[in-house]
A and B are shown apart, each in its own frame.
Chain A
Amino acid sequence: MWGTEWPRFEVIKQDTERSLPQMVGSVHATDPEHALLVARHVFVRRPSAYALFVAPAEAFFHVTQEALKDPKALEGPLGEEEAYWVFAKKSHRRSMVYGDLVGRFLARSPGEAVKEALLEAQGVAFWAVPERLVAGTEPTPEVVESWFAPAREKTYRLQSYYGLVTAKEVEHEA
């Protein structure tokens, strides 16, 4: 089915109920369920999270601003109309920003979906993926709690919990 390497899934993380899902990186996994579990270990050891989504890396259509100069960049075969998630990278300078979700667009191809997104958002690069290929954690309180509370409550979550460590101030452990 695949070589000695599991397929790659792009990981999309939503920090809080109100924040936009963002593309944060990728993991290798056998199936979407496995990808979600691995994504939690890799991307949510400490940060807050409300939801995680994954989709097969090869299902993403990607186009850069540079490529958009070519008017044919968004053309391609048209299929049945379906929902796409479109992400945009807003600036070349902000190093942590990868792709922010622009929205959900009904279109007959990923290129069409990006065209729709371009009416709403500027960006230096865009990604589009069919919604049917996106799997995610459920936004119910029980799921959010069981998936993400452990990271929030981790004893050694943040370096600031250590305060300032100096030779004068260290005391013996109880």
Chain B
Amino acid sequence: MSATQTRPVGLLAQYETPADLLHAALEVRDAGYRQWDVYSPFPIHGMDAAMDLRNSKVGYFTFAGGITGFFSGMLMIWFMNKFDYPIVVGGKPLFTPLFAFPVSYELTILLGAFGTLFGMAFLNRLPKLYNPLFNVDRFRRVTDDKFFVYIEAIDPKYSAESTRSLLEKTGATAIDVVED
């Protein structure tokens, strides 16, 4: 990055233990922030509730993918066996959902999995090759033994002073201004 001019985009607070991070998340949630996230080397039980996260919307993509797979399987077999090239096999009907079912079922799973994977990537805006958090050297230890809360400046409740004092109050061991 040849950043000629940088501006602050948020505050990053570091914590030493998962418990500290959980308590900090509760405080930030109760203070009413919406544009924020936590970072940890491993999943922490209860964090979803502490952050007031609702169910992931990935399930809708999975469901849509599964339904598409099921009906495209049925349609494919109907088209090939009954419409495009009708041929009697083993005295069976030209089309019935019975023998089309195993294929439709497999396609349900396949497109359901695609829906899950690509839905997740879409909702997370992945792939994302750059994040301003990479500018903070301290943040590298998030993959090892440190825990972080990041509050973005675009949050309506954000202000450089009050947000910093909130993070200090929650027991942060270091606070950095993230610049972009």
Q: Do A and B bind each other?
A: no
Q: Which residue numbers of B lie inside 8 Å of A, CB to CB? A: none
